[in-house]
Structure 1
Amino acid sequence: MTSAKEAPPTNRIVQRSAATTDMYDRAVQAGLTGHTITSRSGKAVRLTDGRECVEFVSCSYLGLEDHPRLVQAVRTALDKYGTHFSSSRNSVQPAELDELEELLGEIYPGMSTVVFNSVSSVHLGVLPLLASGILPSYPVSGNGPLFVVDRTAHASMQAIRGVLEQIGPVVRFRSEDPDTLTTALARADGRTPIVLVDGIGSMGGLIDVAALRDAAAEHGGYVYIDDAHGISISGRHGAGYAYGALGDRLTPNTLLVGSLSKAFGGSGGFIAAHSAADAAVLRREANPMVFGHSNMITHVALNAESARMHLDGTVATLQEQLWANVELFDEHNSRNLVNAGVRSPVRGLAMETEEAAFDSAVRLHEAGILCFPVFYPVVARGTGLLRFALSANHTPAQIESIAHHLTAA
């Protein structure tokens, strides 16, 4: 029992909360984030106060969210099924879900894909089974796993650290510093290392996933890649950044996770595993499959239609437009932007202080431009960043107009 004189125990969550300022609340109150929209047309959105603004917030990098083919797919699904079928995935599913997984298997030849209702659900469902050696294609040492987590890996992986620690120890490294990975892998000591990384960082640049794959292989381990922001935006059939960086194939020690909720234009997440046996175990035993709700039936239908658009060449045309817009954005902004010149649809304007980021976001908002102002704990304590998500749907005029305002920011 803790005595009255002893301070209550703290944990990482408490420490992070204590270090977080009121900047996010101030940004919401000032109308800089936490927006409520009443309609949209392309990249123009209407706010509740009637103002129309150009948004650089949505992660629909190819602009598929409101594509007529996807809208029609939803309408057809509504007529067939209604709005939803409430059951666990491994209880009842629509025929379109089998079709979607088959289509994803064409995008990733030779792989067996399993669709979840979010990328976070993929992590929660897959990682405990992978680390326990239950998936047939991925044996684990009798000493168990060692989780090696990149410090910049998405919060959806960082947040389940407590779950992972029930199975094996967790250490962290910095993907930009290979020595930290070497040190972390050296701690395996008979365990099977599982390296957890992003493909494209949601705030930063490109991760050298091939080098991490090779390092994990040298220690008999696996690399588990969350390429949520990289899916669809590049590669043949929109297979994504990480798949291309790995030579358009997944070696036996590589697992690829992708999002259907960003450039893909729909909703959900998936994993590409190496055998049908792996997929069968995931459908039978992954926690979200057994205890979570199924994918929204309308989203399953539009995801399947989006997959067809990936395979029929439609997405390749949209990729060209996206990268033309990214290049145009870089050409018209002389500031030293985060990711400038990098093949990522995300750009950022780093600020030395939170107040500077807040003030710049105010000026952009007054000019009718919505971006995402970011503060600790997303970026380093005391600093700020303005995040811009570029899309194939932005017009040249919308991109060019932002240059003057960023120069003044």
Structure 2
Amino acid sequence: MHTYMNIKKLASISGDFWDVTDRAGLFGLVVAGLGEGWHRRADDGHEFVNMSSYSYLGLDTDLRLVRAAADEVLSEGSLNTSTSRMRIRFAALDDAERALSEHFDVEALTTASCAVAAWATLPLLASGLFTEDVAPVMVFDKNAHFCLNALKAAAADEAQIVTIAHNDVEALEQLCKEHPKVAYVADGVYSTGGQAPVKELLRLQEKYGLFLYFDEAHGISTLGRQGRGLVLEELGGRITDRTIIIASLNKGFGASGGAIFLGPQGSDERKNLALRNGPLMWSQRVNTAGLGAIKASVALHATEEFAGLQKRLQDNIDLFDGLVQTEQSRDGLPIRFVEIGKEDATVQLAQRLLERGFYASPIFFPIIGRGRAGLRLMLRANMTRTEIETFAGLLKELRDELGSAGTGAWAQAGNAVGAGAERR
């Protein structure tokens, strides 16, 4: 019991921190969207910039995607078939998956979310159905996303589970030497910053036949030629039959749902396994609007304009790194983590930033290790230079104030709203 998960303990440890964040007005904000990452709070009209949006290229509000979503719904006259995709589906689903497959040079399956993509494939991988009917030793990176770690119990019913330190290639290679079949489960780009050592992992795949399983929720669209992502870029754009990639289609991609990317060899067999032996057989699929947006986003990914969006994102990342030093500085990725340390201080800092016109997500255990609380920030292509510079200045000012005043003084401070971001 509690070998892989201990929900009750997790809830008891993290509950107080979540409650403090809720009381600080940083949870459940009801807003109106103003475009370009701006929101207006419904209760008091306070406007602010969202510094924690996963829409790295700003495509979530691109009118071409929005119109395509609406047009698809109106064309079908329904949001979905309300039936398993294995029995009845709209042509839009096949069209969207064909477009994804051709663009990324994979066999693509759409899912309701990236988490459903993991649920549909990880237990199958653990069973040996993707590794010549021999269950592999399932090796999880310690920092793998929660949606992957949450499936350890299900995978453990099929295979041996091992968790290794973050990006510990040496430990992984030792396991490859000791076992004939090994599968490594990791993120391509990690949600708290940093990336997998893909080149080194490909070396192990070539040498030992290591099966690689990546969550590319944060890599797809933001990186690589025409948005191929970190892993496909390192693979030279061609996924192997010993690699599975799952991805989000509502972060950098700007649409909705998730996807499974399978290699070309045996793709029909693997596709059928995923469809017939897991949640894809009975769970909800991407709705009709999302499918329309997916097709529109694929079309945009193939344009010169898309490369320009990626360039604007990289320029904004470089600008931020020149103003705020973090462990992730100069890695070229859009995620930054500003470590504060104490949970209460982190919440108070986030509260003050919101008052001054910027929402930044405070994160703490279990998302990050205990005593390492901080702010998780996402850079976007549609941020202006003024927004980034203003935020960086406020962050420094408020961190200095926090350091000199102490958390007790902060907790007693009033709610006066100072000068912050000015919407264009």
Q: TM-score, normalised by structure 1?
A: 0.90
Contact 1:256–1:271 (Cα < 8 Å) also in 2: yes
Superposition pairs of residues 269-280 of structure 1, within 5 angstroms: 269-275=258-264, 276-280=267-271
1:187, distance to aligned residue in structure 2 (A): 5.1
1:172, distance to aligned residue in structure 2 (A): 0.6
From 120, 132, 145, give the equivalent of 1:139. Answer: 132
Most deviating of 42-51 and 242-251? 242-251
Which residue number in structure 2 is paired with residue 98 of structure 1?
94
Which residue number in structure 2 is paired with residue 375 of structure 1?
364
Which residue number in structure 2 is paired with residue 155 of structure 1?
146
Most deviating of 249-258 and 384-393? 249-258
Which residue number in structure 2 is paired with residue 319 of structure 1?
310
Matched, 1:22 2:13: no
Q: What is the rounded CA distance, in whole Å, between the counterparts of 1:194 and 1:85 in structure 2?
A: 36
Q: What is the rounded CA distance, in whole Å, between the counterparts of 1:289 and 1:302 in structure 2?
A: 20
Superposition pairs of residues 167-246 of structure 1, within 5 angstroms: 167-186=158-177, 188=179, 190=180, 192-246=181-235
- In the alignment, structure 1 segments of 5+ residues that lack a partner are 1-7
Change (3 A) 1:171 1:287: same
Listed one character per residue, the Cα deviations across residues 198-242 of structure 1 (whole Å, up to 9, x for unaligned) are 001000212112212322443333001111100001211211122
Matched, 1:388 2:390: no
1:21, distance to aligned residue in structure 2 (A): 4.9
From 23, 29, 36, give the equivalent of 2:30. Answer: 36
Contact 2:48–2:357 (Cα < 8 Å) also in 1: yes
Listed one character per residue, the Cα deviations across residues 225-270 of structure 1 (whole Å, up to 9, x for unaligned) are 1111000012112111221123332233222222101000011111
Q: What is the rounded CA distance, in whole Å, between the counterparts of 1:198 and 1:339 in structure 2?
A: 16
Which residue number in structure 2 is paired with residue 77 of structure 1?
72
1:359, distance to aligned residue in structure 2 (A): 2.2
Q: What is the rounded CA distance, in whole Å, between the counterparts of 1:284 and 1:16 in structure 2?
A: 33
Change (3 A) 1:282 1:302: farther
Counterpart AA for 1:99: D
Most deviating of 98-107 and 149-158? 98-107
Listed one character per residue, the Cα deviations across residues 4-32 of structure 1 (whole Å, up to 9, x for unaligned) are xxxx9896323323332512221122112
Counterpart AA for 2:326: L
Counterpart AA for 2:118: H
- In the alignment, structure 2 segments of 5+ residues that lack a partner are 400-424
Alpha-carbon RMSD across the aligned residues, in angstroms, is 2.0
Change (3 A) 1:139 1:278: same
Q: What is the rounded CA distance, in whole Å, between the counterparts of 1:130 and 1:9 in structure 2?
A: 22
Q: What is the rounded CA distance, in whole Å, between the counterparts of 1:261 and 1:328 in structure 2?
A: 25
Which residue number in structure 2 is paired with residue 4 of structure 1?
none
Q: What is the rounded CA distance, in whole Å, between the counterparts of 2:368 and 2:175 in structure 1?
A: 23
Q: TM-score, normalised by structure 2?
A: 0.87
Matched, 1:115 2:110: yes
Q: What is the rounded CA distance, in whole Å, between the counterparts of 1:340 and 1:282 in structure 2?
A: 41
Q: What is the rounded CA distance, in whole Å, between the counterparts of 1:303 and 1:174 in structure 2?
A: 36
Q: What is the rounded CA distance, in whole Å, between the counterparts of 1:43 and 1:187 in structure 2?
A: 49
Counterpart AA for 2:61: D
